[in-house]
Amino acid sequence: MTATTVRAGTVLRGRPPRRVGLGWAFFERQTNLWKRYWAWEIVWLLYGVVNTLSITFIANEAAVTGVLSRREVSRLTMFLLIGTLVWAYLSAVLDDMSLTIMWERWEGTIEHTLMAPVPRVVHLMGMSAFGVLHALVRTTLILAFSLPFFHVQLGAADWATALAVVVVGSVSVVGLGILAGILPLLYPERGEQMSFMVQALVLLVSGVYYSVNVLPGWLQAASHVSPATYLLSGIRDALLNSATIGHEGSVLGILAIFGAVLVPLSLVAFHAAERWAKKTGRLKRQG
Amino acid sequence: MEAPLGRRALPLDVQNVSKIFGSKRRPHLPWSSPGEGRRQERAALDNVSFQVPEGEIYGVLGANGSGKSTLVRILSTLLLPDSGTVKVFGHDVVKEAPAVRPLLNRVSVDPSFFKPMSAMENLLFFGRAYGMRGQEVRELSTQLLDRLGLSREHASEPMLHLSRGQQQKVAVARAFLSSPRLMLLDEPTTGLDPRSKREVQSFVTEARRSSGVTILLTTHDMDEAEALCDRTGFLSGGHLVAEGTPLELRKQVAAGRPLDDVDMETVFIEITGRSIEEDEELEDEVKGP
């Protein structure tokens, strides 16, 4: 035992914890969990591919009925394909962030994790980094499996602009994800279902499968406060209309503003929710 | 910042801590059952004060629902007291939580791990969360698990495959991994088989002796309290109703009887008026809307 035990306090004393290392703890843990739940990952991948195919085949229906010209069908195919893929990405990030608290409640680790000396901002950034990377990998795989089913022209697409929109837009998506993750903190029993409502609202107003112009006026107004609207618009412009980064300056600017507002706002809100949960005794395991 | 030498801060200083659970009445809706939404407030802790000097094992004895876990949650910075102060090595657990957290760790009654992950993966996560490097965690974890009778094979098994006793030993290793200066042991041996219980108790005793860690142990096992604790406090209905060494507490209730005839169970019953096996009200049951 003498050889085993470190004098109390000596491991941490005199050495400030490295923030990157602390954030890495969460990234690494999520990666380890993901490896153990690989079967679920396959299920979600399959679901994503089937969902993408089911929705994008609607364009083929339009071709069969002759409602649209061949060129319009090709455009509709791309429109729907981009919508389903972007939604696969957004929902994966939002899901992962919503699980920040829920997963810990299921496993019973919530108290041990939240009493660890990790600043909450570092904790959430570690979870966000994993969520974004996880969502990118899954969406890329869905794209790879889905593309062979459709005849799409991507030669004119401006990939650099699309990538810029994804990168800048992801910051605001992370902010939304942190806000969604607060709900399970506030409502231990029904928080997860409530976070699904957030996703559903974003899906409705952001023009994922249709242009926001087809929405009633009041829903169009709501679409302006969803960063997903601008993310989709920017990616579609880049891939369908060959828009350059210069052309998408305003979209990138709006997304950057969303990110600059949503991330600090979500961190402040998370802090307030955590304090309230500590006051009311909600930081407990469940199940 | 720690207090300067010469007037070193106490590892644990609890002063007049109270915590009340309960909520305002909710509106009675047509589909609500009778009485629903009329929750009453209840003091889980009521004006509790005690101090623990460096290197001591201080036992908090109480029945289920007496306030033990509420106390541990407050010390762990997971629950805010309604009034009173708690200081860990001079740092207030509410106002200076970031300074308190590196100083303490905890073993809870439930092992609480990411069950699909291996013991080592779990330890790697929790070690890193305390600022340790990966290699450092692996080396120290291996030593701690070995001391607790768990092999490298156990360490690489998913936690799901380990027995309750083995999981609790991993929990003990996790808590000591960060070499805390204050250890909170919340019923660490409840539900363990006798052998695992002895091994965990032996580990705790040796850890205190060799590392100097200060320990707060909550339990409703009288034998465990008497074997491990330097001093104990009895918690009943959220009140700390008695405090002292096991010998002092026995003398307090002996009333002329030989001390050997007065065991801790008797002491507890005579002081609190109830058996330690008798559950009190659930202390902090909180439901979402």
Position A210 in a domain:
yes
Amino acid B283: pLDDT? 47
Position A209 in a domain:
yes
pLDDT band at A12 (very low <50, low <70, confident <90, very high): very low
Instruction: Express each pLDDT in A193-211 by its tens digit.
Output: 888 888 999 999 999 999 9
DSSP-derived secondary structure letter, B118: B
Interface contact B42, partner A, CB < 8 A: no
Domain architecture of chain B: domains with CATH: 12-20+42-114+181-272 (3.40.50.300)
Share of residues in chain B with pLDDT > 90 (%)? 61
Angstrom distance (rounded) from CA A11 to CA A105: 28
Of the partner residues A9, A190, A278, the one whose CB lies closest to the CB of residue B288: A190
- What is the span of the domain harbouring residue A125? 19-280
Lowest-pLDDT range, A195-204, A225-234, B88-97? A195-204
Q: Stretch A64-70: mean pLDDT, rounded?
A: 83
Lowest-pLDDT range, A5-14, A57-66, A225-234? A5-14
Question: Between chains, do A18 and B178 touch, taking CB under 8 Å as contact?
Answer: no
pLDDT band at A28 (very low <50, low <70, confident <90, very high): very high
Contacts of A101 in chain B (CB under 8 A): none
More confident residue, A219 or A63: A219
Four-point Cα dihedral B249, B251, B254, B260, nearest 10: 90
Amino acid B274: pLDDT? 79
Question: Between chains, do A116 and B79 touch, taking CB under 8 Å as contact?
Answer: no
Contacts of B130 in chain A (CB under 8 A): 11-12, 17, 116-117
Q: DSSP readout, A234-248?
A: HHHHHHHS---TTTT
Position A14 in a domain:
no
pLDDT band at A8 (very low <50, low <70, confident <90, very high): low
Contacts of B203 in chain A (CB under 8 A): 1
Closest CA to B172 of B192, B152, B194: B192
Position A64 in a domain:
yes
What size, in residues, is chain A? 287
Position A6 in a domain:
no
Amino acid B277: pLDDT? 72
* pTM of this structure: 0.87
More confident residue, B43 or A116: A116
Position A10 in a domain:
no
Position A8 in a domain:
no
Q: What part of A 81-140 touches B (C-beta under 8 Å)?
A: 107-109, 111-119
Q: Is the pLDDT of residue A153 over 60?
A: yes
Segments in chain A forming alpha helices (H): 19-36, 38-65, 70-107, 110-114, 120-146, 159-186, 191-205, 217-223, 227-240, 249-280
Angstrom distance (rounded) from CA B18 to CA B29: 33
What is the total count of domains within chain A?
1
Q: Stretch B59-86: mean pLDDT, rounded?
A: 94
Instruction: Express each pLDDT in B117-140 by its tens digit.
Output: 999 999 999 999 999 999 999 999
Residue A280 sits at φ, ψ, to 5 deg, of: -100, 0
Amino acid A116: pLDDT? 95
ipTM > 0.85 for the complex: yes
Position A1 in a domain:
no
Amino acid A3: pLDDT? 39
Q: Which residue of B has its CA nearest to A36?
A: B116
